Amino acid sequence: MDDATRDGGTKIPYRRAAAWAVLVRFLSASLPLLALALFLAHLLTPGRPAIVTLIVILFHCAATGIAGYGLWSAYPHDRLGRANLVTQLRAAMAVSLSGCLIYPIADDAVWLAVAVASVCLLLDGVDGWLARRDDLVSGFGARYDMEVDSFLALMLTLVAWRSAGWGAEVLLLGLPRYGFLLAAALLPFLRRPLPESFRRKACCVLQIAALILLIAPLPGGRVAGGLALLAGGCLYASFAVDIVHLWRRRV
């Protein structure tokens, strides 16, 4: 973006004006997505609207606030683009599962949870494709997409534990990213950027697909459990590779 432009003879920082426009559009689009998240959450945990509504609103506002700050401070384009709207849609759908923090998902709504997670997974590649098609690729978009994936995985592990009858060890499938962030807060070398990696993306897809199978009320629990073990092994091995990469390049 250019540093400044003129409007009616008054010099106005163009970067700030464009950032405001992008942010306002993003926040405006987030309001109906909050309504969608609340609607889905009510279907997933019927009869407990008050606390579930509060949890969904808090998570949605937190996700929107973090993303909004990223847009304001680091987004390099003057258009929001369709890709970021798709990512925010995925965030809202993931947030709709957050009621499982308090209550198990209703028995007759398990397939809805599977559908929500499956749509999120299918849309995972759409936002990146749209960003490239619209020439709006950004570090912010890639980071926000990754954090939405991590949050979705965490919510699905909670559903698998609280609603699908799997043991607490299933939580290990949703914690690696947050463990890495905690370690990065203590170890500066972990904060360095990592190169793009197909391995990392493939492990994420495998992780979420395995979690969807874990929560689906299908026969063949051993198959789903075996896939979850495979996904967990690949996921932790991928993080180990990244940590070794960053360790070797520490200064």
CA 120/CA 124 separation, integer angstroms: 6
- For residues 139, 88, 156 and 101, what is the CA-based torsion angle, rounded to 10 degrees? 120
What sign does the dihedral 197-202-203-204 (CA atoms) show?
Answer: positive
Q: What are phi and psi for residue 4, nearest 5 degrees?
A: -155, 160
Q: Cβ–Cβ contacts within 10 Å for residue 10, how many?
A: 7
pLDDT tens over the chain, length 251 residues: 444 444 444 444 556 788 888 999 999 999 999 999 999 999 998 877 788 999 999 999 999 999 999 999 889 998 999 999 999 999 999 999 998 888 888 888 999 999 999 999 999 989 989 999 999 999 999 999 999 999 999 999 999 998 888 888 999 999 999 999 999 999 999 999 998 889 999 999 999 999 999 999 887 778 888 889 999 999 999 999 999 999 998 86
CA 210/CA 238 separation, integer angstroms: 16
Return the amino acid letter for 17.
A
Q: Which helix (H) or strand (E) holds 11?
A: strand 10-13
DSSP code for 214? H
Q: Which helix (H) or strand (E) holds 17?
A: helix 14-44
State the pLDDT at residue 11.
44
CA 129/CA 125 separation, integer angstroms: 6
pLDDT tens sequence across 48-88: 778 899 999 999 999 999 999 999 988 999 899 999 999 99
- The reply to whether the predicted model has a pTM over 0.75 is yes
